[in-house]
Chains A and B, each alone.
Chain A
Amino acid sequence: MRKNVAVDIQQVTKIYGTGNAAVTAVNNVTLQIYDNEFLTLLGPSGCGKTTLLRMIAGFEDMTKGHINLFGEEIEDLPPNQRPVNTVFQHYALFPHLSVYENVAFGLRRLKKSEAEIDHRCKEVLALTQMEALAERRPSQMSGGQQQRVALARALAPNPKVLLLDEPLSALDLKLRQAMRDELKQLQQKTGITFIFVTHDQEEALAMSDRIVVISEGKVQQVGTPQAVYEAPANRFVANFIGEANMLEASCKTTGKNMTFTLVGGGTLKISTPDVAAGDAVTIMIRPEKVKVLAKTGKKTTPSSLQMEAKVIEQTYLGSVTHLDLACDGQTLKACINQGAHASFATGDEVLIEIPADNCRVLRS
């Protein structure tokens, strides 16, 4: 089944300013966002996420490119004529209006009947669990409640696409985690396409159908949370999402299984289609895939590289323990489950094992 494209972003570039002061905020971005999808734009602060959202909403002109909404050109439509609503980072609730009137604002501008407005307001206030506070002013509510009102207000006109610009960043940790689940459920219940912006990789992994990783205005990778975590396209993605060990290596033999020789010595046989003999590459392995054994331990998997290492620091985190290991002049990170293994002390000489199956070859 072919998926319906909700937002089609074609080679969009945004340059602020001119001459020496020019800043390329969005650089030649091409992206299809599907109908009924929870898509996350993930990247560090200043990478152009907000600018991209503002261009979809119509608050910013594009320097180059096109954006289509369900197959229709929207470039010439002002923001108030685009069937798109936004949950703003700082909510931007109208302080002079009650919660109910905030939620009704969009419907009133669309000239809906009073009965329709009342019905829809009650519906979205129930959906966001804010019925009880309908008569309050925004100033009489907590941050979490204001957040729900902002959500209700943006959902009320039943937009085709909902844009959320770091909506959880102003909340405290507990609330943020609870809201993640709620937002995800809300998206599934309403069937509205969500474009969610965050710089928090954990948030992105927890909520998204697909993640778009952005750096310096460019798309680095588009994929499911699993794909971007397990098969990052480049060093930036590998480092930005989760933790990663990077081993410099060179590619030796051609064939289905290539042999990679690490700069510090040792070889790994990995099957990968992406590189040619002679390429200098980086081999990435996640800390939880690095096995740590006692010095006398036996190799557990045949296709793995074994190295001697020394524990230089350990951090106990309850369910897991993080180890910093000195190995061949560089520091590797490992993350081991509590209980399953013997515990290690700082200064211990250990053996580490890098399974070839869990390695990912990145071009340097």
Chain B
Amino acid sequence: MASPHRKSKFRPIWDFPGFGGLSVGFFAFLYVPILVLVAYSFNGSKFAMVWSEFSWRWYLKLLENDDIHSAAINSLIVAFFAAPAATIMATLAALVMVRGGPFRSRAFTAGLITLPLMVPEIVTAVATLIFFALLNINLGLINIILAHTVFCIPFAYMPIRAALEAMDPGLEVAAQDLYADRWDAFRYVTLPLLTPGIMSGFMLAFVISIDDFIITLMVAGAGSTTLPVYIYSMIRTGVTPEVNAVSTLLLAVSVILVSVYWLLSSANRKGEAIG
């Protein structure tokens, strides 16, 4: 039997003094402001920082605010078109990169697809703005949809590529052995097995699109304001309890989508362990 007092040279990191406190402080710094924001969105008082009573008052007020409505609808429209478009392109890119065999400049292409994740967003934003201005493209929401589609592709691409890499290429070989042509093999084997990966890519693209602020702020013309941009404009005239409420709603949408994404990708991982 191993001695419970056996001395080890290596102490687990949580044994070091101050580690516990530091991590509690870290999480508090990250999450307490968000919790306060959520709590105060249910505050009956009209002063943002003075608690009076629990109330749905600000949510009801949101319902009456037409500007917020149109901003929220704009956000949904953009994500509704941009996320699927980005997901389809990301899926095609992943198929080429993982199953396309070797081709010239393959490594370069792989870098090119994921590079936007590392380019500062403000740079992308300014570049996109200049691009649209130069070509004189002024299509309102369509401008935003185009911009979102493009910068969401690498986000959708990452989980799809991971799922495809985890998939045994022998399954497609087996399908061909069983009289499936390449299209049948894709439709009846690759696609069903890749669906969880594609869904998580889609969720990620959707959340990124809904939440995006910098690029949208640059590209959005008058009348095509999205929710994050609208919230920013509200804050400039002072933090009202309404801002808390609308932020809480946005947070709820993100949390729900990310949870679905997480559930799907963990189902995906379980599938791998078996396959």
Beta-carbon contact of B174 and A80 below 8 Å: no
Chain B residue numbers with a CB within 8 Å of A80 are: 176-181, 184
Asked if B168 CB lies within 8 Å of chain A CBs, one says: yes
Interface of A is mostly: mixed
- Most chain A CB within a 10 A radius of its CB, from B177, B180, B184: B177
Beta-carbon contact of B170 and A90 below 8 Å: yes
Shortest Cβ gap from B172 to chain A (Å): 9
Asked if B275 CB lies within 8 Å of chain A CBs, one says: yes
Size bracket of the B interface? 20 to 34
Asked if A109 CB lies within 8 Å of chain B CBs, one says: yes
Beta-carbon contact of B176 and A78 below 8 Å: yes
Asked if B31 CB lies within 8 Å of chain A CBs, one says: no
Which residues 144-177 in B have Cβ within 8 Å of A in the complex? 168, 170-171, 173-177
* Contact partner, B174, options A84, A88, A96, A139, Cβ 8 Å: A88
Once the chains are docked, how many angstroms separate the CA of A78 from the CA of B168? 21
Once the chains are docked, how many angstroms separate the CA of A57 from the CA of B178? 11
Beta-carbon contact of B170 and A92 below 8 Å: yes
Once the chains are docked, how many angstroms separate the CA of A280 from the CA of B190? 60
Beta-carbon contact of B184 and A109 below 8 Å: yes
* Contact partner, B178, options A95, A109, A138, A139, Cβ 8 Å: A109
Shortest Cβ gap from A101 to chain B (Å): 10
Which residues 78-111 in A have Cβ within 8 Å of B in the complex? 78-81, 84-86, 88, 90, 92-96, 105-106, 109-110
Beta-carbon contact of B178 and A96 below 8 Å: no
Shortest Cβ gap from A81 to chain B (Å): 8
Asked if A167 CB lies within 8 Å of chain B CBs, one says: no
Chain A residue numbers with a CB within 8 Å of B175 are: 94, 105
**A105-B188, A109-B184 given; A95·B193 CB < 8 A:** yes
Interface of B is mostly: helix
Chain A residue numbers with a CB within 8 Å of B178 are: 80, 85, 105-106, 109, 153-154, 157
**A95-B274, A105-B188 given; A85·B193 CB < 8 A:** no
**A105-B188, A139-B274, A139-B275 given; A92·B179 CB < 8 A:** no
- Most chain A CB within a 10 A radius of its CB, from B174, B193, B275: B174
Once the chains are docked, how many angstroms separate the CA of A13 from the CA of B265? 45
Once the chains are docked, how many angstroms separate the CA of A93 from the CA of B189? 10
* Contact partner, B171, options A57, A79, A81, A94, Cβ 8 Å: A94
Beta-carbon contact of B179 and A109 below 8 Å: yes
Which residues 180-202 in B have Cβ within 8 Å of A in the complex? 180-181, 184, 188-189, 192-193
Shortest Cβ gap from A226 to chain B (Å): 33
Shortest Cβ gap from A201 to chain B (Å): 27
* Contact partner, B177, options A79, A90, A93, Cβ 8 Å: A79
Beta-carbon contact of A95 and B271 below 8 Å: yes
**A80-B181, A139-B274, A139-B275 given; A94·B176 CB < 8 A:** no
Shortest Cβ gap from B239 to chain A (Å): 50
Residue ID in chain B nearest A85 by CB atoms: B177
Chain A residue numbers with a CB within 8 Å of B275 are: 95, 139
Chain B residue numbers with a CB within 8 Å of A316 are: none
Which residues 160-188 in A have Cβ within 8 Å of B in the complex? none
* Contact partner, A92, options B168, B180, B184, B188, Cβ 8 Å: B168
Asked if A59 CB lies within 8 Å of chain B CBs, one says: yes
Residue ID in chain A nearest B181 by CB atoms: A80
Chain A residue numbers with a CB within 8 Å of B274 are: 95, 138-139
Query: Apart from A85-B177, A88-B174, A139-B274, what 7 extra A-B contacts exist at CB < 8 Å?
Result: A59-B176, A80-B181, A92-B174, A106-B178, A109-B180, A109-B184, A157-B179
Ordered by A's residue number, 11 sampled pairs between the chains whose C-beta atoms are within 8 Å are: A57-B177, A80-B179, A88-B170, A92-B170, A94-B171, A95-B193, A95-B274, A105-B180, A138-B274, A139-B274, A154-B178
Q: Which 9 A-B pairs have the closest CB atoms?
A: A139-B274, A106-B178, A92-B174, A109-B179, A92-B170, A95-B275, A79-B176, A109-B180, A80-B179
